Structure formats: C-alpha cells, structure tokens
Amino acid sequence: MSQTYEIFDHSVHLVADLSGIFIFAVTGALVAVRMRFDVFGIMALAEITALGGGVFRDLVIGDVPPAAFRDMGYFLTPIIAGGLVFFLHPAINRIGGAVQVVDAAGLGLFSVSGTVKAAVWGIEPFHAAAIGVATAVGGGVLRDLLAMEIPSLLRRDREMYALPSVLGAGTVAVLLQFGLLGPISSGAAMLATFVLRLLALRYGWRGPLAWKSEQLPAPGGKEPGQGRGAGRGQPVS
Amino acid sequence: MSQTYEIFDHSVHLVADLSGIFIFAVTGALVAVRMRFDVFGIMALAEITALGGGVFRDLVIGDVPPAAFRDMGYFLTPIIAGGLVFFLHPAINRIGGAVQVVDAAGLGLFSVSGTVKAAVWGIEPFHAAAIGVATAVGGGVLRDLLAMEIPSLLRRDREMYALPSVLGAGTVAVLLQFGLLGPISSGAAMLATFVLRLLALRYGWRGPLAWKSEQLPAPGGKEPGQGRGAGRGQPVS
Amino acid sequence: MSQTYEIFDHSVHLVADLSGIFIFAVTGALVAVRMRFDVFGIMALAEITALGGGVFRDLVIGDVPPAAFRDMGYFLTPIIAGGLVFFLHPAINRIGGAVQVVDAAGLGLFSVSGTVKAAVWGIEPFHAAAIGVATAVGGGVLRDLLAMEIPSLLRRDREMYALPSVLGAGTVAVLLQFGLLGPISSGAAMLATFVLRLLALRYGWRGPLAWKSEQLPAPGGKEPGQGRGAGRGQPVS
C-alpha cells in the first residue's frame, strides 16, 4: 500500500495512539465503576472502550489482524488505566473536568489519525473521514451500549461530540484531496477538534432537534436524558 | 471471483441498492427523531441503519473495504434521507403506512441482493441466504439497539419480519443450487418477500411463542412489548 | 499459514466445536423464551449466541468467510438447539444446574480452542489468548445486549465468568510461548477453566468491586443486578 500519507514518525504515532487509548480506557473504567461492575467488568469495559473504534477501523480497511491484536502496548494500556481507576476513581472523579479535557484531546487525535490511517490503506479521502469519525466515537458507543445506556453520542442532552470529530476528520479529507496534508496541517485539525469540543463543553453547545419536534408526543417511557447513566466525560460527581 | 451469479445490470443494481438504503435510512431517522436525538444523532442513526447490514455482509464475505466505504452514493443517501426526515417527519409519519410498504420493498430487495452478492463471492447457497437475511435485517437491529429497544425483529408483538426475509433468501438459495437463478426468478423472490411482509402487516401475522410458554412466570420487569420504543415501520403516530 | 499448533485431530475439533455451539445456542434460546420472543426470535438468538464469538474471532484473525458461514453443521446446530428449547424449555429449566455445568464445559472448550485457532493463524500467544476469551464470551455478550440486559459477563452479581476463561486462555498462551502445547496440556487448560467456573458457581465467587466503591452514590436508576433479566446459565426458575 502507499505510504504517501504517513505523516508522523512511527514513534510519535505510537505515543499519541497509546495516549488516546489510555484516556478512552479511563472513561470506560469510570463508567464500569459507576455501574458497580467487578474488576473483570472494569477491565473488559476499559479494553472495549479503548480499542473498539480502532478494531472496527482496521477490519473495514483490511488491516487484519487489527493493530490492537498485534502490539502488546495496545492491550496492556487499558489494563493499566483500569487498574488506576480501580484504586483512584474517587480522586479521578474529583478532577472530572480534567478528564473531559483529556478526552477531548483523544477525540481530536483519533479523528485525525483514524482518517489518515484509512487513507494510507487506500480509502478515498471522504470515506476515510467517515472511518476516522467511527474510530474516534466507536469505542464510546460500545461502552454505552454495554452499560445499557443510550450512546451519549446520540443524545441531545449532551454537548456536541460528533461535530468536532466530523470537523477534524473532514478537514483532513479536504487536505488529502488537495495534497496538502502534513504534520502541521494535521496537527491543526487535531487542535480544531479539541478546541471545538472544549468550547461545546464550556458553553453547553448542543445540536438542534428536528424541526417542529415540539409537536412530538412525549416518549412512552422516560426522557432519554433521564436514564441512570452518565456518558463519556460525565463522571460520578 | 466468479461473476456467474451477477444477475443484474450494474446500474439496475446500484439504483435498487440506493433505494433500499434510502428507505432504511428513513426508518432510522424517524426513530432518532422520536427519541429526540439531535441532528447529529439523526444522521448517525440514518447511516448506521442503512449501511449496517451491508457492512456486516461485506466484512463476512471478504469484500473489504465494504461498498459503503467505496461509493459516495452509499454515504450521501442516508444524509439526504436524514435531512428530509429532519424537516418533514410530521408529514412522513402521517403516511406511516406508505413507509411500511416501502420498507417491505427494501426488505425484499436486500434479502435477495445480499444472498446473490454473497454467492458471487463464493459462499455456498444456503450460507449465502443466511448472509442475505443478515444484510436485510442487520441495520434495523443496530438501529433498535442504539435506541435501547429490544430489536423489533425478535419481538412477538411485531408482525413477522424475519420469515419473509428467510423465505426470499431461501428461495434464491434453492434457485442457485439448481442453477436456475435469473432476473425473473430473483425478481419473483423479491416480490414474494414483499407480499408476505405486507400480508403479515395487513392481517397481523405473528410467529408462535414457545410451546407451553403460558407456564412462564411474568417477566421480572415489564413486558418486552411495552417499552417506550416502536420499531421499524412503527412511526410516531 | 503455519499448522504447527493444530493440536487436535480435525474430527475431534469439529465434534468439540459443535458441542460448544449447541450449548451456547441453548442458553440463547432459553433467554429468548423467557423474553417471550417468537419462534424466529428464538432461532435468531440461538444462532447469534452460538456463533457470535467465533465470527468475531474469524474476522479478526482473517479467516474469511468465517467458519460459521462455510460449514452447514455450524448453522444447523443452533436451529436444532432452538427447536429443542422451543418444545422442552420447561424440562430444561428444571435441570438448570445441568445447563450451567455444560455451559462451563463450553466456556473451557471455546477459551482454549479460540486461542489455539488464533495462534494457528499467526497471532502472538498473548493476543491469541485475548481472542480466545472473546470467542468464549462474545456470543453471550451479544445475547444479553439483544435481550436488553447488561451483559452478565460484566455484572458483579454474577459468579465469575471471565476469570476462568482468562485463566484457560492464558495457560494456553504460556504453553505456546514455551512450545509446550499439546493435546494433554490443552485438555488440562480446558479442564481448569471448567472446574474454576464450577467452583465459582458452587461457592458464589465474585470479583471484587472497585476500591472504596461504597463511597459511590446509589446509581440513578435501579441496581444493575435487579433488572428483569437473568444471564447465561440463569434459567427461568
């Protein structure tokens, strides 16, 4: 396959990847602790949250076996994150804002690096961006499903999560299309995703509901926003 | 791979595929509107409902990257469907019966075309039929899971959905086995699926419960049929 | 690919595989009966529970199409299991303990055979063990998700299920690492998994909750352990 788009030095890429995996594993483990899963459930949810998006990406682009099953660091990082959360969850929850900031960094990183990897494997830029978004948000969707919560990605009572990812991945796609992708421009795309997510959190930006949705009957059960669950970056208070 | 089973002209196939994707995207977007997901949730559920079954089919048969990540039409069609639902959902719900009819057409189309594509890729006829059924119903199962509903495919309080798909895909398998598959016979299999689904809707046909299931204790929570959700083809009233 | 690790005669392997598939299909069909799914829902949940883990394993290691879509026995065995449960579920539930014992045997079998198959396909031993665990527990996770239950794998109110699987698969990984894997040692790993799971059931062994988890606020909804559902090996009483 072409390596034209390999914009990062391999070791930079690995460190960045493992950082993102660590953060997403922390969010998975925090949900597991809140749901009172036992230590095995904590580790399982940490692994699935951290690696789920990347495994989907690799299956779709044909990089089999997925990187998560080739590199021991990918497998051990969520275990370390789960172990830290197992002991330190009260302290981590106290710095909940910090977790959200780092989660936003993970979102930017995976949106961009997932798009780049898909493009390296020969996917056209705009489809690569779709795969990049799936890489960034996929693990969180699996985490929420396994905790029986409506994925916070989809919920209106959560600050915008998809849009920053779409923006970052889409920027990379445009750069790829015009042959302009480089370390600086891809770093800028990561930063834009990160900042937009932080702004959404800071100012409570949410996506619009469907037009005339006030005409809808009340949902039969409970409001989707009133479940027992908190989502990514909404730690136990 | 063998192209022996390529029974449709490519452009016919593409138009049919995109029509089915459009319809399934509409059902996903309607569920998202009813769940009060925001515009990103509506688009995400439209994409996943429309493309989920086909992505699973392509991963299983080895057509990687899946067609959904190669052809821009596959990606844009759910966006268009989601945009229409965003603005027009009150009107679409008013013609709910029409949506169910077109959904039945999508079921017939995907059951047959999924089976044919799997066979083209070298899967034995009866396994190809299983893949065809998964193609037709897979997106709807993902849609219901993401909306935290028991998949309507499985529920007894929904008219039969799996049986028409199994019938259509199984007919194609028998035709393949005997070398009789052609445009007319495969069209007839689509039509049979479509008509059987319409009859099930019209006359409320449902599958039998397990033998002696009246002896079962009442489920601990609520009846599976009484959740807040409606499934495929059960629009907001 | 290397066949170095092919430690079982093919027919032994097939019989063992189909036995495990049969048992997992029974647990899926029992959940479907309890949820009052109709006959198609029963068959679908039997198939997905029995084959889900193996399909994931095969997609990840690159054995495409997955074995479940190549061998008719894999497809028919869950149908037979579903048919038996359809008629005999009252009797099967009466011997619930027996089902749990055989389920424990399936757990041992799939944990070991999944690890071996992944290693045969060139996955490094410890990643192969992760795939083996996913093979053994994956179908049950899908079963619980489709029945809208928190996977019993993750729940603290269920006896340990993951640890025996991790132990069995990890033992195989160590044996592979040192070139010691053979029919006897792999049989011992299966037996250890089986016995540990039985001991966990007999003595109610559960994994520890997170440290200081008594400080957590009560979950917003209900206790995860009080849902309407029972999990693998918890038949309707």
Through-space distance between the first and last CA atoms of chain B, rounded to whole angstroms: 47
- Spatial contact of B232 and B138, defined as CB atoms under 8 Å apart: no
CA distance A108 to A57: 16
Which whole-number Å values give the CA distances from B50 to B28, B42, B159, C48, in the listed order? 8, 12, 21, 21
CA distance A229 to A34: 9
Number of other CB atoms surrounding residue B147 within 10 Å? 26
Q: Cβ of B127 under 8 Å from any chain C Cβ?
A: yes
Q: How many helices (H) and strands (E) does chain B have?
A: 7, 0
CB-CB under 8 Å, B147 with A210: no
pLDDT above 90 (res A83)? yes
Q: Cβ of B96 under 8 Å from any chain A Cβ?
A: no
Chain A residue nearest residue C160, CA to CA: A40
Place of tokens 């596959």: B74
**What band does C60 get if pLDDT is binned at 50, 70 and 90?**
very high
Q: Cβ of C36 under 8 Å from any chain B Cβ?
A: yes
CB-CB under 8 Å, A216 with B36: yes
pLDDT above 50 (res A107)? yes
Chain A residue nearest residue C217, CA to CA: A236
CA distance C35 to C48: 16
Ranges of chain B whose pLDDT falls below 70: 1-10, 215, 217-237
Q: Cβ of A6 under 8 Å from any chain B Cβ?
A: no
At C17, which amino acid appears? D
- Residue C108 token pair: 């041992």
- Residue A5 token pair: 């788009």
Q: Cβ of C124 under 8 Å from any chain A Cβ?
A: yes
CB-CB under 8 Å, C236 with B156: no
pLDDT above 70 (res A104)? yes
Q: Cβ of A65 under 8 Å from any chain C Cβ?
A: yes
Query: Which of residues C228 and C155 earns the better pLDDT score?
Result: C155
Write the DSSP string, C194-217.
HHHHHHHHHHT--PPPPTTGGGSP
CB-CB under 8 Å, A35 with C154: yes
Query: What does the pLDDT look like over A170-179, one tens digit per residue?
Result: 999 999 999 9
**Mean pLDDT across A93-118:** 87
Q: Cβ of A224 under 8 Å from any chain B Cβ?
A: yes
CB-CB under 8 Å, A40 with C154: yes
**What band does C1 get if pLDDT is binned at 50, 70 and 90?**
very low
Chain C residues inside the 8 Å CB shell of A237: 217
Residue ranges of domains in chain A: 10-207
Identity of the residue in C40, C45, C69 whose CB atom sits nearest the CB atom of B207: C40
pLDDT above 60 (res A221)? no
CB-CB under 8 Å, C217 with A237: yes
CA distance A63 to A189: 24
Chain C residues inside the 8 Å CB shell of B121: 65
Q: What pLDDT is recorded for position B103?
A: 86
What is the least distance, in Å, from the CA of C32 to any CA of chain B? 8
Q: What pLDDT is recorded for position A229?
A: 36
Q: What pLDDT is recorded for position A58?
A: 96
Number of other CB atoms surrounding residue A194 within 10 Å? 22
Q: What is the mean pLDDT of chain A?
A: 84
**Mean pLDDT across A122-150:** 93
Chain A residues inside the 8 Å CB shell of B66: 60
Query: What does the pLDDT look like over A18-45, one tens digit per residue?
Result: 988 999 999 999 999 989 999 999 999 9
**What band does C227 get if pLDDT is binned at 50, 70 and 90?**
very low
- Spatial contact of C3 and B123, defined as CB atoms under 8 Å apart: no
Q: What pLDDT is recorded for position A6?
A: 54
- Spatial contact of C63 and C121, defined as CB atoms under 8 Å apart: yes
What is the least distance, in Å, from the CA of B14 to any CA of chain A? 18
Write the DSSP string, B130-197.
HHHHHHHHHHHHHHHHHTT---TTT-TTS---HHHHHHHHHHHHHHHHTT---HHHHHHHHHHHHHHH
Query: What's the DSSP call for residue B213?
Result: G
Q: What pLDDT is recorded for position B6?
A: 54
Q: How far is CA C213 from the centre of its chain?
A: 29
Query: Which of residues C189 and C209 earns the better pLDDT score?
Result: C189
What is the least distance, in Å, from the CA of C27 to any CA of chain A? 19
CB-CB under 8 Å, B40 with A207: yes
Chain C residues inside the 8 Å CB shell of A66: 60
Chain B residues inside the 8 Å CB shell of A124: 70, 72
Question: Which of C38, C76, C94 to probe by mutation at the B interface, max B CB count within 10 Å?
Answer: C38
Identity of the residue in A40, A64, A85 whose CB atom sits nearest the CB atom of C162: A40
Q: What pLDDT is recorded for position B154?
A: 84
Q: Cβ of A163 under 8 Å from any chain C Cβ?
A: no
* Other chains touching A, judged by 3 or more CB pairs under 8 Å: B, C
Chain B residues inside the 8 Å CB shell of C73: none
Q: What pLDDT is recorded for position B60?
A: 96
Q: What pLDDT is recorded for position C167?
A: 94
Question: Which of C1, C117, C127, C197 to probe by mutation at the A interface, max A CB count within 10 Å?
Answer: C127
pLDDT above 60 (res C102)? yes
Q: Which of residues 192-211 of C touch A (CB under 8 A)?
A: 206-211
pLDDT above 50 (res C3)? no
ipTM: 0.84
- Lowest-confidence pick of A183-192, B48-57, C3-12, C155-164: C3-12
